[in-house]
């Protein structure tokens, strides 16, 4: 039986007990029936991992007032798959992921568990948004990010949207009076310059911690990195078709296969 209220599936990659997901739940729960299915532990940097080599656990938890919530032993993408098949038994009207503690703009979209959950939903034809705040700390202030989440979720529920619509939304850390609003952007070309912190363990064996410096190589305009620097929340529509049409044209012209 179809519920009258829209069904809003919420997940994240910081785990069901993170402040960011609580901020998201509170921001949108008046807009529909919210169901939370989130990892039982932090999953940052998991990219679009799915769990095929081990079984998954799914347990009901009581962490939000009046909101149904489950924790899952798997990745964010696992959560979306399990939510649809074992909890909702139908497509939710929208899937929200976050609010992530930390940036997922530009190239980070590909390493991001937050975005992998939203992407998994988009592949299944569920309009989806991943929200991230440019502040890693547990005590981050989610006030502006929550307002952004409410606005965009209401917008997505208000009228039909294209199938597979998927938004990567990042929110800057600014004072309320300096926040400029929302801006539709393209993904900046940036990358991480890795350095590995080389150490020796107590037995004399080498090991390495990944550290890295984010480098924006994109000098063009209209990017998410630029918008965030100017005080906007960036909204990047993300594709689920990874074909590079420019490279395809180049290959067709230059390579006889």
Task: Provide the minimum distance between the beta carbon of 50 and a second copy in the complex, in angstroms, as a whole number.
Answer: 5
Q: Select the residue interacting with a second copy from 32, 187, 227, 228 (CB under 8 A).
A: 187
For position 58 contacting a second copy by CB under 8 A, the verdict is yes
Q: Select the residue interacting with a second copy from 90, 181, 229, 230 (CB under 8 A).
A: 181
For position 51 contacting a second copy by CB under 8 A, the verdict is yes
End-to-end CA distance of the chain: 53
For position 174 contacting a second copy by CB under 8 A, the verdict is no
Between 5 and 86, whose beta carbon lies closer to a second copy? 86
For position 118 contacting a second copy by CB under 8 A, the verdict is no
**Residue 64, phi then psi, degrees to nearest 5:** -120, 140
Sign of the Cα pseudo-torsion (213, 217, 221, 222, in order): negative
Contacts to a second copy from residues 153-172, by CB under 8 A: 155, 159, 162, 164-166, 168
Cβ 108 vs Cβ 98: under 8 Å: no
Task: Provide the minimum distance between the beta carbon of 218 and a second copy in the complex, in angstroms, as a whole number.
Answer: 10
Cβ 155 vs Cβ 185: under 8 Å: no
Contacts to a second copy from residues 121-150, by CB under 8 A: 123-124
For residue 184, what is the enclosing H or E element? Answer: strand 181-184
Residues in the chain: 257
Contact stretch for a second copy (CB under 8 A) within 28-36, 88-96, 130-138, 243-251:
243-251
For position 247 contacting a second copy by CB under 8 A, the verdict is yes
Between 3 and 199, whose beta carbon lies closer to a second copy? 199
Q: Select the residue interacting with a second copy from 89, 198, 203, 213 (CB under 8 A).
A: 198
Task: Provide the minimum distance between the beta carbon of 191 and a second copy in the complex, in angstroms, as a whole number.
Answer: 5
Q: Cβ-count burial of 79 within 10 angstroms (0-12 exposed, 13-18 middle, 19+ buried)?
A: buried
Between 2 and 60, whose beta carbon lies closer to a second copy? 60
> Could you give the CA distance from residue 27 to residue 169 in angstroms, rounded to a whole number?
15
Q: SS in 3 state form for 82-133?
A: HHHHHHHCCCCCEEEEEEEECCCCHHHHHCCHHHHHHHHHHHCCCCEEEEEE
Q: Are strands 166-171 and 190-200 parallel, antiparallel or unpaired?
A: unpaired
For position 111 contacting a second copy by CB under 8 A, the verdict is yes
Tokens found for residue 243:
């074909």
Contact stretch for a second copy (CB under 8 A) within 12-20, 21-29, 136-144, 249-257:
249-257
Between 66 and 117, whose beta carbon lies closer to a second copy? 117
For position 110 contacting a second copy by CB under 8 A, the verdict is yes
For position 215 contacting a second copy by CB under 8 A, the verdict is no
For position 189 contacting a second copy by CB under 8 A, the verdict is yes
Vertex 133 angle, CA 97 and 18, to 5°: 60
For position 78 contacting a second copy by CB under 8 A, the verdict is yes
């Amino acid at each position: 039986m179809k519920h009258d209220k829209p069904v809003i599936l919420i997940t994240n990659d910081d785990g069901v007990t993170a402040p960011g997901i609580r901020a998201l739940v509170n921001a949108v729960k008046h807009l529909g029936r919210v169901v939370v299915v989130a990892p039982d532990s932090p999953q940052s940097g998991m990219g679009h991992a799915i769990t095929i080599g081990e079984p998954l656990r799914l347990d009901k938890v009581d962490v939000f007032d009046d909101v149904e919530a489950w924790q899952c032993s798997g990745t964010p993408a696992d959560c979306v798959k399990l939510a649809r098949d074992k909890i909702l038994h139908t497509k939710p009207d929208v899937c929200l992921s976050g609010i992530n503690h930390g940036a997922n703009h530009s190239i980070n979209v590909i390493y991001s568990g937050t975005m992998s959950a939203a992407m998994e939903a988009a592949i299944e034809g569920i309009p989806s948004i991943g929200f991230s705040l440019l502040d890693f700390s547990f005590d981050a202030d989610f006030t502006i990010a929550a307002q952004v989440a409410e606005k965009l979720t209401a917008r997505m529920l208000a009228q039909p949207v294209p199938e597979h619509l998927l938004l990567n939304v990042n929110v800057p850390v600014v004072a309320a009076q300096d926040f400029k609003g929302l801006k539709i952007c393209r993904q900046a070309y940036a990358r991480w310059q890795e350095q590995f912190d080389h150490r020796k363990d107590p037995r004399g064996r080498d090991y390495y911690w990944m550290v890295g410096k984010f480098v924006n190589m994109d000098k063009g305009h209209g990017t998410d990195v630029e918008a965030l620097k100017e005080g906007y929340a960036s909204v990047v529509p993300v594709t689920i078709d990874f074909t590079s049409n420019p490279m395809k044209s180049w290959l067709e012209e230059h390579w006889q296969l």
